[in-house]
Amino acid sequence: MKFLNEPLTENRAVLDWIEESAALTAPDGIVWITGDPAQTEELKRQACSTGEMIKLNEELLPDCYLHRTAVNDVARVEARTFICTKKKEDAGNINNWIEPGECRERLSKLYKNSMKGKTMYVIPYAMGQLGSEFAKYGVELTDSIYVVLNMLIMTRAGRAVGPHLDEGFIKGLHATATLDPENRYICHFPEDNTIWSVNSAYGGNVLLGKKCFALRIASYLGRKEGWMAEHMLILGLQSPDGVIRYVAAAFPSACGKTNLAMLIPPEYYKKKGYKIWCVGDDIAWLRVGRDGRLWAVNPENGFFGVAPGTNEHSNPNALAATRSGTIFTNVCHDLDNNTVWWEGLNDDPPEHAINWKGEPWDYRKYDKADKINTSGAHPNSRFTAPAKNCPCVSPEFDNPDGVPISAIIFGGRRAKTAPLVYQSFDWRHGTFVGSIMASETTAAAAGAIGVVRRDPMAMRPFVGYDMGQYWAHWLEMGDKIPDPPKIFHVNWFRTDGEGHFIWPGFGENMRVLMWILDRCAGKVDAKKTPIGYVPFADDINLEGSGVSKDTLNELLSIDTASWKEDIGNIRDFYALVGDYVPQKLREELDALESRLG
Ligand code: OXD
Ligand code: MN
């Protein structure tokens, strides 16, 4: 094997697999990623010398870089994402499936000699704190320096991981190949702890520790081993007495997960001494703790956040996290001061700039109706920032035991159906509430407005096996947690007759978190309704919010007609999920229908 530096393990399984992958892809040499600063600096230098990355203004954005992906390769591609279990029914009706043997044969042709003239990088990495009961290990092979540098931010990678590979590891093979979108594949072999990704260089498809491992493969392992991998943020809410209570929350994309995770309390609460700590913004791994509660870690080490819309008002903590040591992808390059810009950063777009496609950009030609072609930054442009940069990163961030979860929150974007907040009756009903989660398309997106997309637990694109069996796993976990979190549902997106949002959102969402935690502590009563427990309006503090009691009453009202309409849509979705939908959830659906009358 053409190792250009010392391997970080002598583990035969690791070395044999690298050898086999190198025989297929034929790189000129193989480099182990150590995480040593000298190696990282040399890789950055190389990437800048080839134009793969652009070094930004060292004074204004120290150690920050800009990268552009191919214009046809700017987002996760669900249609090209596959779960390759031996039996199709184990992947389920929601996932795309290819038989593993056929998949390997098809992809081997694409991998063949694809690294000729290139270096193969071997990235040993951990998801979770090294040595923690939660931690799992992986090795990603890639021909992209951009991937290496992102993985060094997003995971705990390098030398220290070597000895842990003996505990087992997930194999990830990524080749950039020709970036042919017709032959782009993101394939998971959960029965074989393997991920194959080819013909993409976009983060969500190629940073294999993230969605591929920490959600798809991990959800499969979690079911086998009795824990959970979820698409959830984790935050801690500290009261003036110093006590911190934690919640985990799952929302579909574009529903403000990163913003909630880094929320700044409204003045009213800040003055009293309340504070929010961010443990994670995207993924939670959850286990039953020795004390009978559910405990969570964020297996990642950085944030891969959407840049557009991030600003001093919407999320000052995320913005602060991107001011050093960050890789920007597909944002706008401000040539006057060699910094970056994106739509929604401020009202001051750069005069001389290069857009996300690498072309000269004139902000005067921006057309909201044609964002992709006229914006400076791609709507899905990203920052990859170290978690430690975030001013509100939790002191428990590195705690190998994680944090105890008091509440699980599901949420979606619903104009009418869901009230601002409600609580499920119990874990089983809460699992039902998660299974019927949905979001409506908005006027901003192409296509019809108000179309409901079911996105159970925000995991539709991320469950590595059958959705019905995933719900069954949720129910089984409920039986295993002696002191389970309470389960809630929130909706920040309710609108009035003219389609305007009636809840201010952002920091004001703290008021809803306070009610949720009061419910968990048994401090407030609630109104029992057909859908769950809804707050009494007096129990949500509106001081300084600008929201009137009448508006709050409207936010908390239940639109029975739209709920009844929803029942049919849920039945259709359950039919699509198929035979493994647990009987208990079907009963919950019938019970909801009969309570609605
Ligand atoms: C996502 C992401 O697509 O976190 O959910 O990038
Ligand atoms: Mn996500």
- CA-closest candidate to residue 454, choices 540, 571, 295: 571
Q: How confident is the model at residue 253 (pLDDT cuts 50, 70, 90)?
A: confident
Three-state SS for 259? helix
Q: How far apart are CA 422 and CA 185, in angstroms?
A: 40
List phi, psi (to 5°) of 499.
85, 10
Q: Is the CB of 76 under 6 A from ligand 1?
A: yes
d(Cα 551, Cα 538) in Å, to the nearest integer? 12
How many whole angstroms separate alpha carbon 95 and alpha carbon 82? 7
For residue 232, which ligand has an atom nearest its CA? 2
Per-residue pLDDT, 1: 65
End-to-end Cα, the chain, rounded Å: 70
Given a cut of 80, whether residue 165 has pLDDT beyond it is: yes
Q: Write out the DSSP string of 234-258.
A: EEEEE-TTS-EEEEEEE--TTS-HH
Closest by CA position to 483, among listed 581, 414, 404: 404
Q: Examine the pLDDT at 448 and tell me if it is beyond 90.
A: no
- Name the pLDDT band for 447 (thresholds 50, 70, 90): low
Q: How far apart are CA 326 and CA 347, in angstroms?
A: 23
Concerning whether 255 is annotated as a catalytic residue, the answer is yes
Annotated domain spans of the chain? 12-32+78-225, 230-298+397-596, 303-389
336: its two tokens:
């006057």
Distance CA(286)–CA(218), nearest Å, equals 11
Nearest one of 252, 248, 204, 216 to 452, comparing CA atoms: 252
Q: Which residues contact 34 (CB under 8 A, 6 or more apart)?
A: 5, 8, 158, 159
Q: Is the pLDDT of residue 441 over 90?
A: no
Closest by CA to 401, choosing from 515, 293, 315, is: 293
167 DSSP assignment: G
CATH number assigned to the domain covering 12-32+78-225:
3.40.449.10
Degrees, nearest 5: CA angle 528-532-538:
55
Residue 181 one-letter amino acid: P
Pocket test for ligand 1, best of 282, 298, 457, 463 (most atoms within 8 A of CB): 282
**Confidence check: pLDDT of 274 > 60:** yes
Whether residue 302 has its Cβ less than 6 Å from ligand 1: no
pLDDT the model gives residue 354 = 98
Sign of the torsion angle spanned by Cα atoms 457, 461, 467, 470: negative
What CA–CA distance (Å, rounded) separates 240 from 245?
Answer: 12
C-beta of residue 66 within 8 angstroms of C-beta of residue 56: yes
More confident residue, 13 or 446: 13
Closest-CA residue, ligand 1 atom 5, reads 253
When the pLDDT of each residue in the chain is averaged and rounded to a whole number, the result is 96
Distances (CA, A) of 277 to 197, 326, 408: 34, 21, 16
Closest residue CA from atom 3 of ligand 1: 253
The answer on pLDDT for 446 being more than 80 is no
What confidence score (pLDDT) does residue 499 get?
85
Per mean pLDDT, which range of 260-274, 447-461, 494-508 is the poorest?
Answer: 447-461
- Pairing type for strands 533-534 and 527-528 reads antiparallel
Q: Indicate whether 400 pLDDT > 70.
A: yes
Q: What token pair was written down for 47? A: 């990437």
Amino acid at 562: S
Question: Rounded mean pLDDT of 174-193?
Answer: 98
DSSP 217-231: IHHHHHHHHT-EEES
Which residue's C-alpha comes closest to atom 1 of ligand 1? Answer: 253
**CA angle, residues 238, 382, 160, in degrees to nearest 5:** 70
May I ask the CATH architecture of the domain 303-389?
Beta Complex (2.170)
- For the chain, percent of residues with pLDDT exceeding 90: 93
b/e map 91-127, b = 16+ CB within 10 Å: bbbbbebbebeebbeebeebbeebbeebbbbbbbbbb
Calculate mean pLDDT across residues 305-323. Answer: 95
* pLDDT surpasses 60 at 33: yes
- How would CATH label the architecture of 230-298+397-596? Alpha-Beta Complex (3.90)
| Residue 455 CB less than 6 A away from ligand 1 | no
Q: How far apart are CA 571 and CA 422, in angstroms?
A: 22
Which entry of 64, 84, 187, 255 is annotated as an active-site residue? 255
**For residue 250, which ligand has an atom nearest its CA?**
2
Q: What's the pLDDT at 449?
A: 62
What ligand has the least distance to the C-alpha of 305?
Answer: 1
Q: Is the CB of 254 under 6 A from ligand 1?
A: no
For residue 401, count CB atoms less than 10 angstroms from its CB and return exposed for 0-12, middle for 13-18, buried for 19 or more.
middle
**Amino acid in position 244:** I
Check pocket membership of 300 for ligand 1, CB cut-off 6 A: no
Instruction: Give the model's confidence band at 303: pLDDT under 50 very low, under 70 low, under 90 confident, else very high.
Output: very high
Assess contact for 345 and 310: CB atoms under 8 A.
yes
